[in-house]
């Protein structure tokens, strides 16, 4: 399972 990308957007 790939780690979900960080939520770094607005």
Partner 1 sequence: MNIFRLAGDMTHLASVLVLLLKIHTIKSCSGVSLKTQELYALVFATRYLDIFVTYVSFYNTVMKLIFLGSSFSIVWYIRRHRVVRRSYDKDQDTFRHLFLLLPCLVLALVINEKFTFKEVMWTFSIYLEAVAILPQLVLLQRTRNIDNLTGQYVFLLGAYRALYILNWIYRYFTEEHYVHWITWIAGIIQTLLYADFFYYYFQSWKNSVKLELPA
Q: Which residues bind partner 1 (CB under 8 A)?
A: 2-10
Minimum Å distance from CB 5 to partner 1? 5
Shortest Å distance, C-beta 9 to partner 1: 7
- Which residue matches tokens 């979900």? 4
- Supply the minimum distance, in Å, between the C-beta of residue 6 and partner 1: 7
Measured between alpha carbons, how far is 9 from 3 in angstroms, rounded to an integer? 17
| Residues comprising the chain, all counted | 10
Spatial distance between the Cα atoms of 3 and 7, rounded to a whole number of angstroms:
12
């Amino acid at each position: 399972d790939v780690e979900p990308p960080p939520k770094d957007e607005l």
